[in-house]
Chains A and B, each alone.
Chain A
Amino acid sequence: GENVEQHPSTLSVQEGDSAVIKCTYSDSASNYFPWYKQELGKRPQLIIDIRSNVGEKKDQRIAVTLNKTAKHFSLHITETQPEDSAVYFCAASTTSGTYKYIFGTGTRLKVLA
């Protein structure tokens, strides 16, 4: 079946440094790639997304890049702050059956003060 791999599973960075999380997907027809942030005990929150006709999208300190040829996309967080500490999930759309998402297994980001 379709699959999304996410790396690393845990990531620790010093406050102010950058963090990068990478995902690869298997469905060449995937055309929508959202990223979610989930704080402990909370719901996943959509933080940024990208569609397949765009190579990069930025929103303040976060950005997402997409390489359709290689079938991978990445989340970049610059100038990290303690409140960025959370679990981040990537997802890719799939048309296997009806249009839906496949999620990666998550990255636990710790920003050390």
Chain B
Amino acid sequence: DAGITQSPRHKVTETGTPVTLRCHQTENHRYMYWYRQDPGHGLRLIHYSYGVKDTDKGEVSDGYSVSRSKTEDFLLTLESATSSQTSVYFCAIGPGVYEQYFGPGTRLTVT
């Protein structure tokens, strides 16, 4: 697997609390992505980054923000978690606009 890790791997949090998920890569890839995976919906893009400090919204960005201050780290923040944000979150990286390689995922439960 590509040098990509996610932390934490599992998290349970309460409604209304802030949550930050971290994606870390050792491949020096320019592109990084955050997806959520829910039954019946496949993988949906939340936010992505095409360089340090360069980010943009995906198709399901409401309630999420991101930051990328270093090439290797891409952070996803849920400002005030809601039950609808219970999901499995995958980070992906890519050397260019084509191939994307996924991290191991983070299972988030909001109670």
Closest to B45 in A: A100
Q: How far is the CA of A5 from the CA of B97 in the complex (A)?
A: 22
Q: Which of B40, B42, B56 contacts A103 (CB 8 A)?
A: B42
At the interface with chain A, which of B19-27, B62-70, B79-87, B101-109? B101-109
Residue contact B103 to A43, C-beta cutoff 8 Å? yes
Residue contact B102 to A44, C-beta cutoff 8 Å? yes
Residues of B within 8 A of A (CB-CB), count:
24
Q: How far is the CA of A27 from the CA of B7 in the complex (A)?
A: 34
Residue contact A97 to B40, C-beta cutoff 8 Å? no
Q: Which of A6, A45, A49, A100 contacts B102 (CB 8 A)?
A: A45
Interface residues of A in 75-113 (CB under 8 A from B): 89, 91, 93, 97-106
Q: Which of B1, B98, B105 contacts A49 (CB 8 A)?
A: B98
Closest to B40 in A: A105
A80: min CB distance to chain B, Å: 22
The 8 closest A-B pairs by CB, nearest first: A43-B102, A105-B42, A103-B43, A103-B42, A99-B97, A44-B102, A106-B42, A32-B98
Instruction: With A34-B100, A44-B102, A49-B98 as known contacts, state yes or no: A89 contacts B42, CB within 8 Å.
Output: yes
Chain A residues lying within 8 Å of B58, measured Cβ to Cβ, are 100
A46: min CB distance to chain B, Å: 6
Interface residues on A, range: 20 to 34
Residue contact A105 to B59, C-beta cutoff 8 Å? no
Residue contact B100 to A46, C-beta cutoff 8 Å? yes
Residue contact A101 to B42, C-beta cutoff 8 Å? no
Not counting A43-B90, A46-B101, a sample of 8 additional A-B residue pairs whose C-beta atoms are within 8 angstroms of each other reads A43-B104, A49-B98, A89-B42, A97-B57, A98-B56, A100-B58, A101-B45, A105-B41
Instruction: With A43-B90, A99-B97 as known contacts, state yes or no: A1 contacts B43, CB within 8 Å.
Output: no
B102: min CB distance to chain A, Å: 4
Closest to A106 in B: B42
B54: min CB distance to chain A, Å: 10
Indicate if B44 sits at the interface (CB-CB under 8 A). yes
